[in-house]
Amino acid sequence: MKWLCSVGVAVSLALQPALAADPSGDRPLTPEARDAFVADLLTKMTVDEKIGQLRLISVGPDNPKEAIRDMIKEGQVGAIFNTVTRQDIRAMQDQVMQLSRLKIPLFFAYDVVHGQRTVFPISLGLASSFNLDAVKTVGRVSAYEAADDGLNMTWAPMVDVSRDARWGRISEGFGEDTFLTSQMGKTMVESMQGKSPADRYSVMTSVKHFAAYGAVEGGKEYNTVDMSAQRLFNDYMPPYKEALDAGSGGVMMALNSLNGAPAASDSWLLKDLLRGDWGFKGITISDHGAIKELIKHGTAADPEDAVRVAIKAGVDMSMADEYYSKYLPGLIKSGKVTMAELDDAARHVLNVKYDMGLFNDPYSHLGAKESDPQDTNAESRLHRDEARKVARESLVLLKNRLETLPLKKSGTIAVVGPLADSKRDIMGSWSAAGVADQSVTLLTGIKNAVGDNAKIVYAKGANVTDDKGIVDFLNQYEPAVVVDKRTPQAMIDEAVAAAKNADVVVAAVGEAQGMAHEASSRTDLILPQSQRDLIAALKATGKPLVLVLMNGRPLALVKEDQQADALLETWYAGTEGGNAIADVLFGDYNPSGKLPISFPRSVGQIPVYYSHLNTGRPYNPEKPNKYTSRYFDEANGPLYPFGFGLSYTTFTVSDVKLSSPTMKRDGKVTASVDVTNTGKRAGETVVQMYLQDVTASVSRPVKQLRGFDKVMLKPGETQTVSFPIDVEALKFWNQRMKYDAEPGTFNVFIGLDSARVKQGEFELQ
């Protein structure tokens, strides 16, 4: 399966049941019918009812269900999030339909980012699959399960490009690359929305966080973003644009300011660009409390001013603050906000409700009451097979000395590490309605794989961290990290004893999921000391050491790379994580994942990313020179480059062949290579095509991913992999903010990671 810059993605609707988009109502789901219906509805609404539509309320301790029900019947709520069962959702919709004046249905939303009940790998893991079919599976299953729970919208996909591993939310996105993120985000939108978000098993997406949240200064959460227009439009904007062009009905604002303007008060971003240049017709939603936060940002003087600024900037719906409800009535009265402005915002909300099919059937995602599941968390509601298949593809083999892996299903295996048997951590952050108890840990996965054929000895070996401050931070809101009360030495001793009696040691190390989440930025990227001590002790036993990494960001692993015989990056692999990891450890699945992000050697290298500019003094490791762009105390490149990942077999890539040395503006060239499986096992690999504009009016990246193709080859098999290139793949925003391709020489690089590539070139005329 090949994915290219200019190739559209057909969505597989394998999971799409054959239900019509318009189950019981008779309103056609066309923009014309919608506009007429909504225009008419607006004429019937009071100012308060219009304002009510703009309120998006989170059910929780501050807003218990009972209090919300009263507000609902008064028409003071437009949508609800954080309610995830059919019973609860039905009760709220009943309130509207039975007691409110105009019976405008609510919509229900949730953070379905990597699964709803079945938890798939975190997005960084999914990106490692370099497989858009895997994305489609995640999208379809997640939408299916979310819609089956009564939901209409998801706060996903998260397409914030990020090159700063200190930022905890890097785990939620698809990595450092613009093209890969665009492809993944767009495919997620298409697969979650299906033919129509009104379908029984589709949900509307809300792309987030607009814009450039992934570039917060210093990787510090909620921090400022300031960047050139060129970088913004060349590197950070395309994923949002592609996901919106794919038809996403919603977009969520970022919390950060961009070049001084917080998103919720940025009319250039929300009006000129989003609605003007990009022609977006859906709904804009502020992130949690973002309107309130305008005061602290310093772009609004007081609460009333924050509301005035936000609605004028183009924020339709206000998430989790009561400001719109409180202050809009007065602002309308005083004329500071016009009826037209209020109508615009209300219209956008009503439009998406219409598109969700809610005016045809407010219960379209609920069905009949009798059909509600007796047990919301029933096993039968999960999609374990799909989860296991996707999870296997998300695993990246970083090192495999002397073929330590795959392991034999015999002898004694010591399974150690603070994450080896953690049901919660393996799900990762934003695990939606996933139930930790239903997830398969590494220990269980290994036991399942070997059955009675091998002896498994388990020892925790260390706590995730011995730093009490960090444990308190992680356990601030809930008991997320269970601390073993034994001394660190006692735990290590137990693990070492287990290792000494084993043929091989498998150690699961990394981060508790709360370390790679919202509001979890780090200043360091090494493993916590407790785990480093454990690894050192295990290494000293002389037993083969396999490190299974569980983490939500690239870590600095120079030391572990030296210590381990094999290293497998597993991110947070989800409900079926343990089984999927065992599939790889024992060779039942040949690993095919590739890194969607560069792994730095140390935090000081950040940002380290493959698509950098060359500078006037590039560093050449073969001819080191003091006055070149480098750090004098560390090797220059990343420890593992973007696109890197090993297999249990080996592949070779031939020289690059080009169909023509020149390309006309309206023409095409095709670059191809022959890829051969030179090893003894069948396996998949990701062939990656990068382009470089060698000389242009501005400096261009040394290479940029422009196509990838995941191919399966039997031992000895060769396949020709071709990438057609057209002018669209060569365009960029120049100094005058003109988007175009400039004539001249282009390098084409093709390889199995971003660092080791074969090179060809052609001339754009």
Decide whether 287 or 709 has the Cβ nearer to ligand BGC: 287
- In angstroms, give the least distance from the CB of 468 to ligand BGC: 26
- Find the shortest distance in angstroms from Cβ 113 to ligand BGC: 8
Q: What are phi and psi of 760, to 5 degrees?
A: -135, 180
Among 111, 149, 164, 565, binds ligand BGC (CB under 6 A): 111
- 154 strand-pairing partners: 110, 205
Nearest distance in Å: CB 521, ligand BGC: 14
Among 148, 287, 533, 753, binds ligand BGC (CB under 6 A): 287
Smallest separation (angstroms) from ligand BGC to the CB of 156: 8
- Least distance in angstroms from the C-beta of 58 to ligand BGC: 7
Considering beta carbons, is residue 287 or 386 the nearer one to ligand BGC? Answer: 287
Tokens of 471: 């444990």
Give the position of tokens 């919660």.
Answer: 424
Q: How far is the CB of 208 from ligand BGC (least distance, A)?
A: 6
By the 8 A CB rule, do 505 and 446 touch? no
Q: Which of left, alpha, beta for 554 (phi over 0: left; psi -120 to 50: alpha)?
A: beta
Partners of residue 206 on adjacent β-strands = 250
CA–CA dist 52, 513 (Å, integer): 36
DSSP-assigned letters across all residues of 517-585: STT---S--SPPHHHHHHHHHHHHTTS-EEEEEE-SS----HHHHHH-SEEEE-----TTHHHHHHHHH
Rg (Cα) of the chain, in Å, rounded? 26
Which one of the listed residues 88, 111, 133, 287 is annotated catalytic? Answer: 287
Nearest CB to ligand BGC, comparing residues 257 and 531 = 257
Quote the tokens at residue 735.
């100094």
Q: Which residue type occupies 509?
A: V
Only one residue has tokens 């977006």, namely: 280
Contact status: 155 vs ligand BGC (CB under 6 A): yes
Cα angle 62, 67, 71 (rounded to 5 degrees) comes to 115
CB 746 within 8 A of CB 759: no
Number of residue whose CB is nearest ligand BGC: 155
Query: Between 64 and 743, whose beta carbon lies closer to ligand BGC?
Result: 64
542 burial level (CB within 10 Å; 0-12, 13-18, 19+):
exposed
214, amino acid identity: G
- Residue 448 Cα distances to 381, 412, 426, 442, 443, angstroms: 22, 15, 17, 10, 9
Is 378 in contact with 345 (CB distance < 8 Å)? Answer: no
Looking at the DSSP bridge assignments, the partners of residue 204 are 153
Residue 362 DSSP label: T
Q: Using CB under 6 A as the criterion, what x/- string covers residues 478-517 for binding ligand BGC?
A: ----------------------------------------
Asked whether 161 and 239 are in contact (CB, 8 A), the reply is yes
- Least distance from ligand BGC to the Cβ atom of residue 173, Å: 11
Nearest Cα to Cα of residue 441 among 452, 430, 456? 456
287 is an active site residue: yes
Give the footprint of ligand BGC on residues 318-357 (CB under 6 A). none
* Residue span 578-617 as binding mask against ligand BGC, x where in contact by CB under 6 A, dash where not: ----------------------------------------
Beta-strand relationship, 545-550 and 718-726? unpaired
Q: Which of 568, 698, 713 is nearest to 231 (CA)?
A: 698
- Name the minimum Å distance from CB 51 to ligand BGC: 21
**Residue 283 burial (C-beta neighbours within 10 Å; 0-12, 13-18, 19+):** buried
Residue 225 has which token pair? 């973003």
Residue 208 or 409: the one with the smaller Cβ distance to ligand BGC is 208
Residue count, binding to ligand BGC (CB under 6 A): 6
In the bound complex, what is the minimum distance in angstroms from residue 419's beta carbon to ligand BGC?
25
Cα first-last separation, the chain: 30
CB of 111: closest distance to ligand BGC in angstroms?
5
Distance CA 450, CA 633 (A): 45
Instruction: Please state the separation of Cα 202 from the chain's center in Å.
Output: 19
Choose between 85 and 759: whose C-beta lies nearer to ligand BGC.
85
- Nearest CA-CA partner of 757 in 732, 728, 723: 723
- For ligand BGC, which is the closer residue by CB, 77 or 656? 77
- Which CB sits closer to ligand BGC, 199 or 518? 518
* Pair of tokens at residue 533: 């001590």
By CB under 6 A, tell whether 293 contacts ligand BGC.
no
Nearer to ligand BGC, 320 or 471 (CB): 320
Instruction: Name residues contacting ligand BGC, limited to 428-467 (CB under 6 A).
Output: none
| 470 Cα distance to chain centroid | 25
- Measured between alpha carbons, how far is residue 620 from residues 615, 627, 629, 632, 756 in Å? 12, 11, 9, 13, 15
DSSP class of residue 115 equals: B
Strand-pairing partners, residue 208, are: 158
CB of 155 to ligand BGC, least distance (A): 3
Verify binding: residue 518, ligand BGC, rule CB under 6 A. Answer: yes
Q: State which residue, 56 or 459, has the beta carbon closest to ligand BGC.
A: 56
- Choose between 284 and 465: whose C-beta lies nearer to ligand BGC: 284
Catalytic residue positions, numbered: 287
Residues binding ligand BGC (CB under 6 A): 111, 155, 208, 287-288, 518
